Amino acid sequence: MTEPTRDERVELALDLLAHLEADELSLAEVVDRIETVTTDPTLTRDILDTAELRGIIERDGGRIRHNRGGTFVRFESQVVQREGDFDCRRCGASISTGHFVKFESGELGPFGSSCIRKVLGRE
């Protein structure tokens, strides 16, 4: 599998931000989610700037408000489980069941069962 391009990573991160279930998060919590797509600080800033320009989020100091009401990941149809040897993209743990989120821009994962819920804002 090839590494996503810079533009593909931006779009994937924007899809993730658009589907967060929390109305408001700290900047650190939002960066934690973006780091499932990229750990490049410059790209992270670009993603936040683009999300704000597109109206996905509003920044208020260290808080991020989510502007897309009603958009959330449907676990039954957008989260796919696969068996194999994986490392969780959020915490790095070895997992045998990977959870992958299908967005319009691509697929994000694998995540463990608790990390998928954290990344999507369900915990």
Mean pLDDT by 10 residues, the chain (123 residues): 84 92 88 94 96 92 77 79 95 96 92 90 70
14, 49: one domain: yes
24, 61: one domain: yes
11, 56: one domain: yes
Establish if 72 belongs to a structural domain.
no
Find the domain containing 94 and state its range. Answer: 79-120
* Per-residue model confidence as pLDDT tens digits over 41-60: 999 999 999 999 999 999 98
Say what the pLDDT of residue 10 is.
Answer: 96
Establish if 73 belongs to a structural domain.
no
Say what the pLDDT of residue 123 is.
Answer: 65
Given 45, 66, 87, the domain boundary residue is 66
3-state secondary structure the chain: CCCCCHHHHHHHHHHHHHCCCCCEEEHHHHHHHHCCCCCCHHHHHHHHHHHHHCCCEEEECCEEEECCCCCCCCHHHHEEEEEEEEECCCCCCEEEEEEEEEECCEEEEEECHHHHHHHCCCC
Question: How many domains is the chain built from?
Answer: 2
13, 60: one domain: yes
